[in-house]
Amino acid sequence: MLGTFCGITFFITYFLYTEGQSYLEYGLIISCTGSAGTNEILFTFNNEVAAYIDLNEKKLFFVVPDFVQVPDFVQTQTIFSTHPLETINIDFIEITNFCKDSFFRTLSLKASETLEPPWTSVYPRNEVKLNVKNTLVCLVSGFFPPPVRVSWSKNNVSVTDESTFSRYYPNKDGTMHVISRLSFIPEEGDIYSCSVEHKALQQPQTRTWVVEIKEPSTGPSVFCGVGLALGLLDLATGDFFIAKGYNYNDTVTLTYVLLMLLLMPYTFALQNLL
């Protein structure tokens, strides 16, 4: 006789239907428990019954909210027809194998798995300012199936423990996306990395982000100042030569010669600035 409960942790798959399209939601950790003298084995999640096996009928039944729809063929499918269940007085190993086998058979009813690799992008949530707290966002999308593993580093030092990780969200094409966030205080030159691991990737997919604060350019101001100064100089030089009795053509020629000579040092200065 089995006097204690057996507990085994598995993953269960729920079918979600939204606006006529079906999606899969993964990652619900449940337990499989049963004991001698009962005719059911329960699958629970967060202390709530998610599904149960009727040992008399040898069938799996889902106990889920109305908005979570499970196909009829899953609800009524005989999932354990090969294991002898004439009596509930089975030992610990047998009931453990029963949990495993029945659950694997349930999962095998789902469609064949197609691997889709993720694509990853890293960006700050707000405008970056030195020494002002901000948040880096690592968006991981387009992958299937879950899970993915996301890790963060700052200057090659792991800071994953300081990050947060959202639940898995479905995309319209049936793939999934997830978001990881990391709070940080920008300091010039710091290098942050977000690395993603998934079974469709041969190696981790890493995206880096470097703190670069761009200072306002002084080039436009210099151009404006030089242009204004040369314009005033042109006007003053023309008036001077006309007052001295030079004709208009000579005045223009002399003015532009002077402007060219005066402009040369500014040209070199602007090249160094830009």
What CA–CA distance (Å, rounded) separates 96 from 65? 28
Please state the rounded mean pLDDT for residues 71-76: 41
Contacts of 34 (CB under 8 A, 6+ apart): 5, 6, 40, 41, 42, 95, 98, 99
Please state the rounded mean pLDDT for residues 57-69: 56
Domains of the chain, earliest start first: 8-108 (no CATH), 119-210 (2.60.40.10), 219-273 (no CATH)
Encoded tokens for 220: 């436009």
Q: Which helix (H) or strand (E) holds 229?
A: helix 219-243
Beta strands in the chain (DSSP E): 8-18, 21-33, 40-45, 48-54, 59-62, 119-124, 134-143, 149-154, 157-158, 163-165, 169-170, 176-184, 191-197, 205-210
pTM tops 0.85: no
Q: Which residue has the tokens 């109305």?
A: 66
Please state the rounded mean pLDDT for residues 121-129: 93
Q: What are phi and psi of 7, to 5 degrees?
A: -125, 125
Most confident of 61-65, 118-122, 127-131, 240-244: 118-122
pLDDT at 80 over 80: no
Q: Which residues pair with 143 in a beta bridge?
A: 176
Please state the rounded mean pLDDT for residues 98-127: 70
State pLDDT tens for residues 177-221.
999 999 999 999 899 999 999 999 999 999 999 998 776 555 555
Q: What are phi and psi of 71, to 5 degrees?
A: -55, 145
Contacts of 190 (CB under 8 A, 6+ apart): 154, 155, 184, 210, 211
Q: Work out the angle between the directed axes of helices 219-243 and 248-273 (0-180°, nearest 10).
A: 160
State pLDDT tens for residues 220-235.
555 555 555 555 555 5
pLDDT at 175 over 70: yes
Alpha helices in 84-218 (DSSP H): 92-108
Please state the rounded mean pLDDT for residues 79-97: 42
pLDDT given for residue 44 in this prediction: 59
What CA–CA distance (Å, rounded) separates 187 from 213? 9
Say what percent of the chain tops pLDDT 90: 28
Lowest mean per-residue pLDDT among 53-62, 100-109, 201-210: 100-109
pLDDT at 109 over 60: no
Please state the rounded mean pLDDT for residues 90-104: 51
pLDDT given for residue 195 in this prediction: 97
Query: What are the respective helix, strand and coil percentages of the chain, to the nearest 5?
Result: 25, 35, 40
Please state the rounded mean pLDDT for residues 124-152: 93
Please state the rounded mean pLDDT for residues 28-33: 46
Contacts of 139 (CB under 8 A, 6+ apart): 120, 121, 122, 123, 177, 179
